[in-house]
Amino acid sequence: MIRRKSVLAVLLVAALGASSCSTVGRLNPFGKKDKGPQELAGQGQRVSIVPQDERLEPTEALKGVTFSVSTPQPVPAWPLPGGNPEQALGNVAVGDNLNVAWRKSFGQGDKRGRYVTAPPVAADGKVFVMDAAGRVAAMDARTGSEIWRTGTNPGDNKRDKLAFGGGMAYADGKLYVSSGYREVMQMDARTGAVGWRTRTDEPIHGAPTVSGGRVFVVALDNSLLTFDTKDGTPSWTYQALAESARILKASTPAVSGDTVVAAFGSGELVALRTANGNDLWNEALSRASRTSALSEIRDIPGRPVIYQGDVFAVSHSGVFAATDLRTGQVRWTLPVVGISTPWPAGDVIYVVSKTGQVICASRESGQIYWIKDLNEGFKAKKKGGVFGLFGKREARPIWSGPLLAGQRLLIAGQGGELVVLNAHTGDVEKRLDLNGPATMAPIAMGDTVYVVTDEADLVAIR
247 DSSP β-pair partners:
10
Q: Which residues contact 250 (CB under 8 A, 6 or more apart)?
A: 117, 165, 204, 205, 206, 207, 218, 301
Burial call 346-373: b when 16+ CB within 10 Å, e when fewer:
bbbbbbbbbbbbbbbbbbebbbbbbbbe
pTM of the model: 0.88
Lowest mean pLDDT among 35-49, 232-246, 283-297, 377-391: 35-49
For 74-99, write each residue's pLDDT tens digit.
999 999 999 999 999 999 999 889 99
- Tell how far CA 54 is from the center of its chain: 25
pLDDT at 394: 75
How many residues in the chain?
Answer: 462
Q: Is the pLDDT of residue 183 over 80?
A: yes
pLDDT at 294: 54
What is the distance between the alpha carbons of residues 441 and 402, in angstroms, rounded to a whole number? 6
Q: Which residues contact 87 (CB under 8 A, 6 or more apart)?
A: 80, 81, 209, 252, 254, 303, 304, 305, 306, 341
Lowest mean pLDDT among 49-53, 67-71, 229-233: 49-53
- Which one-letter amino acid corresponds to residue 308? Q
Q: Is the pLDDT of residue 17 over 50?
A: no
Q: Report, as an integer, the average pLDDT of 330-354.
A: 97
Q: Report, as an integer, the average pLDDT of 374-380.
A: 87
Q: Which residues contact 429 (CB under 8 A, 6 or more apart)?
A: 408, 420, 421, 422
CA atoms within 13 A of residue 13's CA, in its CB half-sphere: 22
Lowest mean pLDDT among 233-247, 333-347, 384-398: 384-398
CA neighbor of 401 nearest in space, from 442, 459, 371, 346: 442
Under the banding of pLDDT at 50, 70 and 90, the label for residue 390 is: low
Q: Report, as an integer, the average pLDDT of 452-460.
A: 98
Q: What percent of the chain has pLDDT over 90?
A: 74
CA atoms within 13 A of residue 426's CA, in its CB half-sphere: 19
Q: Report, as an integer, the average pLDDT of 106-130.
A: 95
**Which domains are present in the chain?**
10-30+33-461 (2.130.10.10)
Burial of residue 66, with CB atoms counted within 10 A of its CB: 0-12 exposed, 13-18 middle, 19 or more buried: exposed
Tell me the pLDDT of the chain averaged across its residues: 87
Burial of residue 76, with CB atoms counted within 10 A of its CB: 0-12 exposed, 13-18 middle, 19 or more buried: exposed
